[in-house]
Amino acid sequence: MEIHEDVPCPFCGTICDDIICKVEGDEVVSTQNACRIGNAKFVHAEGAERYKKPMIRKSGELVEVSMDEAVEEAAKMLVESKRPLMYGWSSVDCDAQSVGVELAEESFAVIDNTATVCHGPSLLAVHDVGYPVCTLGEVKNRADVVIYWGCNPLHAHPRHFSRHVFSRGFFRERGRSDRTVIVVDPRESDTSKLADVHVQVEFDKDYELLDAIRTALRGKKILYEQVAGVPRETIEATVELLKKAQFGILFFGMGITHSRGKNRNIDAGIRTIQDLNAHAKFTLIPMRGHYNVNGFNQVCTWETGYPFCVDFADGSAKYNPGETGSNDLLQNKETDGMFVIGADPGAHFPQKALEVMAEIPVVTIEPHRTPTTELSDVIIPPAFVGIETEGTAYRMDGIPIKMKKLVETDLLSDKEILVRILTRVRELKASK
């Protein structure tokens, strides 16, 4: 038995780096400090199917094949498709993502990642109005006003609240009691139950509420008795609270990126933070979901200039979310071959996109049986980053974290699989 300490967790964008893992043989058998989701990621659950061999769906049934055959079919799909889509990249390390971008360029593919159904609108807003961010360390040590808008960390990022709000920091010696927490959510979420102020916005009215906050921030009178279901007095009192912050932070999530207005909501959110900086020090951090979704946006931006939805159809990088997004390409039946890695679109794309995935060849790099593998023709199982292989991941605040290898495996890493496919794609293209 081995004990590994200070292990970074490969589940959510918080990447808690204080996990203790107990390893027996080639398995993590228990954890300490991890949340229940993180624990489930480290410890293999009884009865869950873990793929260990590559497979191809032949006449409707998955049949084990050699790695060479699976790589060959993956490469052929990319070379033969007129408009291949390469989607996912959020549960793989940055080195693999970098090979992925190269593979997309070589295949004249569109490369897109899970931000497209997550913080894609935030990325679009950043292009419009900028990105006043800080690190989670600064939040812990400095923040005295913490806003969670449209997110429920007690469920989605279970240790986020304890690590950055309850925890004591250099300038916040008493932890939670040195901080004011504001939660904006239409539901009485478990996070809102721990807040000092719960602003119960009407669903789909985030933009209106942000607009009213900015009106008050600029010293103007809000013309209506209530906006987005929130009384004028509550908005004005909240704004006064925000203005008095020594160091304020806005965390925001799917409640605002998924709601009506989408990227325009985030435009208004970021501008609110910019306005607040006339009165107080204020910053923001998007609550990123997958542990390395941010890493893909970093890698893709430094490789191509764009964070997601990058189209290599004519050999150079083009960018037009709304046309080159995965859901746009699938729903408009523009793509004729899909490559999935480090994500589960089968579980997280709408029905209309899945109807098209069922009709085109799908190659999936995936360790588990998932809704995506149910729609896949070729499945190649990789080693888990952060458990069976090491690699770099970017935390939600843009800090790179070295993920650890805890156990041995015979499986190839995502990067090794991608390099093999890239090599074969080049050979196939050269032989044409």
Partner 1 sequence: MKVILNTGRTVWQGEAIESGKDLKMYVDYAAVCNMSADQFEELGIKEGDNVEILTEHGDVVLKSVKAKEALPEGMVYVPMGPWANRVVKPDTESTAMPSFKGVPVELVATDKPVLDMPTLMKVYNKVSFY
Stretch 274-303 residues interacting with partner 1 (CB under 8 A): none
Q: CB-wise, 66 or 277, nearer to partner 1? A: 66
Instruction: Name the token pair of 348.
Output: 């997280």
Each residue 136-165 as x (binds partner 1 by CB under 8 A) or -, in order, gives ----------------x-xxx-x-------
| Cβ burial, residue 403 (10 Å; 0-12/13-18/19+) | buried
Instruction: Name the token pair of 33.
Output: 């400090």
Task: Please give the DSSP secondary-structure letter assigned to residue 176.
Answer: G
Each residue 199-228 as x (binds partner 1 by CB under 8 A) or -, in order, gives -x-xxx------------------------
Complete DSSP assignment for 283-340? EEEE--SBTTHHHHHHHHHHHHSSSS-EE-TTSS-EE-TTTSSHHHHHHTT--SEEEE
Question: Is residue 116 within 8 Å of 262, Cβ to Cβ?
Answer: no
Q: CB-wise, 168 or 260, nearer to partner 1? A: 260
Site membership for partner 1, residue 127 (CB under 8 A) = no
Site membership for partner 1, residue 9 (CB under 8 A) = no
Shortest CB 330 distance to partner 1, Å: 9
Q: CB-wise, 222 or 266, nearer to partner 1? A: 266
Question: Is residue 249 within 8 Å of 281, Cβ to Cβ?
Answer: no
Site membership for partner 1, residue 128 (CB under 8 A) = no
Q: CB-wise, 155 or 218, nearer to partner 1? A: 155
Stretch 12-41 residues interacting with partner 1 (CB under 8 A): 35-41
Nearest to 9 by CA among 40, 44, 49: 40
Shortest CB 219 distance to partner 1, Å: 31
Residue from 1, 3, 25, 47 in contact with partner 1 (CB under 8 A)? 47
Q: Note the residue count of the chain.
A: 432
Residue from 208, 349, 365, 420 in contact with partner 1 (CB under 8 A)? 349
How many chain residues are in contact with partner 1, going by CB under 8 A?
79
Stretch 170-199 residues interacting with partner 1 (CB under 8 A): 186-190
Q: CB-wise, 38 or 391, nearer to partner 1? A: 38
For residues 98 and 314, what is the distance between their CA atoms, to the nearest angstrom?
A: 20
Q: CB-wise, 44 or 405, nearer to partner 1? A: 44
Stretch 73-92 residues interacting with partner 1 (CB under 8 A): 73
Instruction: Name the token pair of 120.
Output: 């894609």
For residues 27 and 17, what is the distance between their CA atoms, to the nearest angstrom?
A: 19
Stretch 355-414 residues interacting with partner 1 (CB under 8 A): 355, 357-359, 361, 368-371, 374-375, 377
Tell me the backbone φ, ψ of residue 317, rounded to 5 degrees: -75, 120
Site membership for partner 1, residue 336 (CB under 8 A) = no
Strands of the sheet containing 197-199, edge to edge, are 197-199, 180-184, 145-149, 248-252, 282-286
Shortest CB 430 distance to partner 1, Å: 25
Q: CB-wise, 248 or 386, nearer to partner 1? A: 386
Stretch 246-275 residues interacting with partner 1 (CB under 8 A): 254-255, 257-260, 262-263
As a dihedral over the C-alpha atoms of residue 270, residue 273, residue 274, residue 279, rounded to 10 degrees, the angle is 170
